[in-house]
Structures are given as C-alpha cells and as structure tokens.
Structure 1
Amino acid sequence: MAPVKISYVVSFSSQDPKDPTENLLSEDSIQPWLGCPKDNSRQLSVELRLERASPIGYVDINTSLCTFLQFEVGCFSWPCDQPYLTLVPTVTLMTPADSKLDQNHCGVQMF
C-alpha cells in the first residue's frame, strides 16, 4: 500500500470502459488503467490528487505495454499557468525489439 493515498482522478486523456482510471484509486485491487481501444493517440496521461501534500521519496509503477514513462509533479496551490516539475524524466521501459517480439511488456519500476 502506498504511504500517501490517491484521493481522486482529476483528469485523464483516455480510458477503457472495462479498465477505467478509477482502478488507480483501489488499494486492494490490481486492476489496470488502460486507454480506450479506439484511441489512436498512442499516449496516455492522468492527473491524480493525493490525500495530502507530502515529500516523495520514491514511486512504484506497474506497467503493461508501456514504452515510455515520464512522471511530473505539482502543487494544487500553484497558479494554473505554472508548469509541473519533472520528477522522473522520460525513461524507456520497452525497446522497439521488445515491442515487435511482444516480450518484456509488463513490469514494476521503482523511481
């Protein structure tokens, strides 16, 4: 269980009706959040509100069919035009060869 609870989903770019973003809120379930199969953008994003402001020492992320990942953070009290700060720069989770061979497509990463 995460030391800081996710309160709710603020926004998201896409979701599969069978695997919605609300799955990210469940502490007991391992149900994924997947993009809509009809969405061809090939990029997903989600904005989450944490239960409280707190220092972030590490982040565990379970991934499935995810090639790249970037993790940004911000504060609710910031002005709307202030950009998020990059906590984890874009990292490669699957190589093009992995993608073509359908291998190494699931994993857990700690940042």
Structure 2
Amino acid sequence: MNTVSANLVIVRNEWYNAFYYADTEQLAYLQTEWFLSTNGQKFLTKEIQLKRILENKENIVKLKRSESDLQIREFKNIACVTGRAAIHDGDNITQTNFIENWIKINGKWKIQFISFESE
C-alpha cells in the first residue's frame, strides 16, 4: 500500500468511526460541501444525512460494520473505494455493496459521494 492509500485508509476509518458514533461534527468536516449519499432509491444531501443521523443516533451507535473485497483505486487527487460490508445490529446482519468517491482538497481527503445497496 502506498502513502496515498495509507492516508486514505486512515481518513476512511475516521469517517466510519464518526458515522457509527453519530459524530455529525466530524462527519461534516470529513465530507465535501456537495456530499451526496444514495441507497439506490433516493439521494440524501449532506444536510439531510446529518440530520437523520442525529435523529437515529440511538440505533446507529449499536451497529457494527465489517468489510470485505475492499478495493481502492486512486487517480491523483481522486479515489474510488468499492467493497462489501456486513452491518450487524445485534440480531441481524445486512450485507451491502458500496462505492465511495473521495477527493483530496488542500491536501486533505474528503468523501464526496457514497452509494450502497443491500443484497
């Protein structure tokens, strides 16, 4: 793994930690202003996503995530991350496929788009 990948892995881990701790301040910092999220049915803007995380904080902090088939492809200041995730809620496991687009702005990685779809 090269230095760019290593740095991106660290920032991705920070983003996911912030998500599963419902730390919307950290999420807002790690996301671009034009961040979008989709589950294949509808798009959420950054503002709506952060609002929903706060509304569902009790449920989100109970979730655990594990990943497989992770691939990181970098193109200068842009990176695409794909893989599979298993989301554990204590009783059930939901399998999802995901794709993330990251961009380096002023030397810092920011997530600009995430799409995920349950299997």
Normalising by the residue count of structure 2, what TM-score does the alignment of the two structures yield? 0.24
Structure of greater Rg = 1
Normalized per residue, which structure has more strand? Answer: 2
